[in-house]
Amino acid sequence: MKKDLTIIIPFLNESENLPILVRELNVFLSDKSLNAEVIFVDDGSVDDSTDVLKKQEFKSFEVKLIKLSRNFGSHAALRAGIKNATGDKICFIYADLQDPLNVIEKMYVEMVNSFDIVWGHRNSTAYGFFEGLFSGIYNSLMKRFVHSGFPKTGFDIVMFNQKVKRELDDNIENNSSIFIQILLMGFKQSSISYDKVKRERGKSKWTLGKKIKLFVDSFVAFSFAPIRFVTTIGILFFVFGIIYALFIVFYQIFVGGLMLGWPTLIFVIMIGFGTTNISLGIIAEYLWRTLDASRKRKVFIIDEIIDLKKESK
């Protein structure tokens, strides 16, 4: 029987939060007349998260667990969940409990108004200063260089219909952002707002390295801005070099006594080599992603799919 809603929950080492999340899901979905399924995606956990999940009692919804063969990253885990979703509408939520479950209901109600995609925009973030600074810079750059509709506060959750699912299943991208991919589809979209809360248990897996990778992936996969940056810097330094050379020639002819030495030489070398290395790094990012795409390796590998309703009996 086809489901009204599929809730996809990726997790990595969240044994502390999973029992609380399941209890909240039982309460939340028991109050709704939705025929829902929940898909947990284990993105290579090395703790006892899977064992903890199997011991839980699931009441008013169908539930299954997709175990990936290793840690592929949260966006790959979401794609694995989408591939196996059967609901007419599909949404994401996370095991860290920072996004309240009532956001799902708000998005579902908004979807009734013939929208294909509904975003959950954050009114506030539960980040510290540096995380908030990184998020603000990232969101501003995405809005400026990738898509003008990118929200200033960003988004972590979204609900969409089968039309969007088909496009995502047909275009499973590696080294990419699933959120920007959905945003750029151009289907009829709307949004709701909510307040994100602080994580109370466990440690965030959203490390600095993963943030930097998302930052690079978002630009390289969806924007020509880095290549344009290389071209612009090259032109600026070429013009600066011409002006500086003309200055030296005219100064020496009409004034004389110009002292040239190591400071000027080192300045030129450092700026020149620095710019060259930045340019080569950006070009290498594009080349690496081209090579990675040409290999056609799987974005995720499913180890097994477990019916948790049967396991918990």
Taking only the tens place, the pLDDT of each residue in 13-71 is 888 899 999 999 999 988 777 788 999 999 999 998 999 999 998 887 899 999 999 98
| 304 and 167 co-located in one domain | yes
Question: How far is the CA of 37 from the CAs of 5, 104, 284, 308, in angstroms?
Answer: 6, 13, 42, 11
> Maximum distance among all alpha carbons in the chain?
94
| The predicted structure's pLDDT at residue 195 | 82
| 191 and 233 co-located in one domain | no
Residue of 199 and 195 predicted with greater confidence: 195
Domain count across the chain:
2
Cα angle, residue 80 at apex, residues 59 and 191 outer, rounded to 5°: 75
Instruction: Classify strands 302-307 and 62-68 as parallel, antiparallel or unpaired.
Output: antiparallel
Residue 212 located in a structural domain: no
Residue 111 sits in a domain of what CATH number? 3.90.550.10
Read off the pLDDT band of 164 (50, 70, 90). Answer: very high
Residue 40 located in a structural domain: yes
Q: pLDDT tens, 251-282?
A: 767 776 666 665 566 567 666 776 776 777 77
Find out whether 100 and 197 touch, Cβ atoms under 8 Å.
yes
Q: pLDDT tens, 68-105?
A: 999 888 899 999 999 999 999 999 999 888 888 889 99
| The predicted structure's pLDDT at residue 85 | 94
Read off the pLDDT band of 294 (50, 70, 90). Answer: confident
pTM across the whole model: 0.74
Q: Supply the mean pLDDT for the chain.
A: 80
| The predicted structure's pLDDT at residue 199 | 67
| 164 and 37 co-located in one domain | yes
| 53 and 16 co-located in one domain | yes
| The predicted structure's pLDDT at residue 145 | 74
Task: Name the residue range of residue 168's domain.
Answer: 5-127+154-203+299-311
Q: What is the rounded distance in angstroms from the CA atom of residue 217 to the CA atom of residue 50? A: 30
Question: How far is the CA of 65 from the CAs of 9, 84, 133, 171, 220, in angstroms?
Answer: 9, 11, 35, 23, 32
Residue 106 located in a structural domain: yes
- When pLDDT is averaged across residues 276-295 and rounded to a whole number, the result is 74
